Amino acid sequence: MREFRDRHEAGERLALELQGYAERSDAVILALPRGGVVIGYELAIRLGLPLDVFVVRKLGVPGHSELAMGAIASGGVLVVDRSLTSALNISSSAFDAVLAAERAELERRERLFRGNRPPLDVHDKTVLVVDDGLATGATMRAAVEGLRRRGPAEILVAVPVASLEICQAFRSLVDDVVCPVKPRQLFAIGLWYRDFSQTTDAEARELLDAAARELDDTRLAPHPSSGAHP
């Protein structure tokens, strides 16, 4: 365990396995905030691809918020683990209260992270959906279902670490899965990082802005054959 120093190093490792997508005009990166934005930033600057967020919120079990009973994503997507809500006898009123709170937070984060920038157009594009790892996969599953409604040509899930079982499950849901570390037992994503401190809203916004500036600078730079001088 402790495979990665931090999310930045994990993103660097993941970028090595995604070099085939570098500089492709038909490819974009969508990061699941907040931890996934760090991964997405490292991919964006190393692959020369546009970066945006795709906001997904886990629906935590009341009193046990880390346990996901479902997730929501941009575009009105709702994924529910019916077997879990039934097993835990979660009432509809308790579920609806969590859902309302998370929908409000999702809308807040859309405004916070993107600011005045419009969402990236993913229609007919190859979309690399990234996060810092997959545990239950509920959040990523909501992202994938939401993206399909926007008409991408391909969806690729890219994460530094996920269990072998989860990776295999996602291969039937998306076009490809790229994951350098696939233990048979994950236990918890944070165990695979020496530093897994929480990424703040401000840090995520800064990285998104920096990635956009980097891409703009690259596109504006004169081509070596243009005869322009430094």
How does residue 16 score in pLDDT terms, banded at 50, 70 and 90? very high
How does residue 218 score in pLDDT terms, banded at 50, 70 and 90? low
Among 1-5, 57-61, 122-126, 160-164, the minimum mean pLDDT is found in 1-5
Among 6-10, 139-143, 200-204, the minimum mean pLDDT is found in 139-143
Among 80-89, 117-126, 209-218, the minimum mean pLDDT is found in 209-218
- State the Cα–Cα distance between residues 4 and 208, nearest whole angstrom: 22
pLDDT of residue 227: 46
pLDDT at 30 over 90: yes
| CB atoms closer than 10 angstroms to residue 178 | 17
Percent of the chain's residues with pLDDT above 90: 70
pLDDT at 48 over 70: yes
Average pLDDT of span 173-194: 95
Among 4-13, 23-32, 46-55, 69-78, the minimum mean pLDDT is found in 69-78
- State the Cα–Cα distance between residues 107 and 76, nearest whole angstrom: 11
Q: Dump pLDDT digits (tens) for 104-152.
A: 999 898 889 988 888 899 999 999 999 999 998 888 988 998 898 889 9
Average pLDDT of span 87-96: 96
- State the Cα–Cα distance between residues 69 and 79, nearest whole angstrom: 9
How does residue 230 score in pLDDT terms, banded at 50, 70 and 90? very low
- State the Cα–Cα distance between residues 139 and 131, nearest whole angstrom: 10
Structure tokens given for 186: 């994950």
Q: Dump pLDDT digits (tens) for 56-81.
A: 888 999 999 888 898 888 777 788 88
pLDDT of residue 115: 82
Q: Parse the chain into domains and list their residue ranges.
A: 7-55+121-218
pLDDT at 8 over 70: yes
Strand order in the sheet with 64-73: 56-61, 64-73, 77-80
Average pLDDT of span 3-18: 97
pLDDT of residue 111: 86
- State the Cα–Cα distance between residues 147 and 135, nearest whole angstrom: 20
DSSP string, the chain: ---BSSHHHHHHHHHHTTGGGTT-TTEEEEE-TTHHHHHHHHHHHHHT--EEE--EEEEEETTEEEEEEEEEETTTEEEE-HHHHHHTT--HHHHHHHHHHHHHHHHHHHHHHHTTPPPPP-TT-EEEEE-S-BSS-HHHHHHHHHHHTT--SEEEEE-SBB-HHHHHHHTTTSSEEE-SB--S--S-GGGGBS--PPPPHHHHHHHHHHHHHHHHHHHHSPPGGG----
Fold of 7-55+121-218: Rossmann fold (3.40.50)
pLDDT of residue 226: 45
- Mode of pairing for the β-strands spanning 27-31 and 154-158: unpaired
Strand order in the sheet with 154-158: 51-53, 27-31, 126-130, 154-158, 176-178
Of 63, 98, 107, residue with least CA distance to 80: 98
- State the Cα–Cα distance between residues 145 and 155, nearest whole angstrom: 10
Average pLDDT, the chain: 90
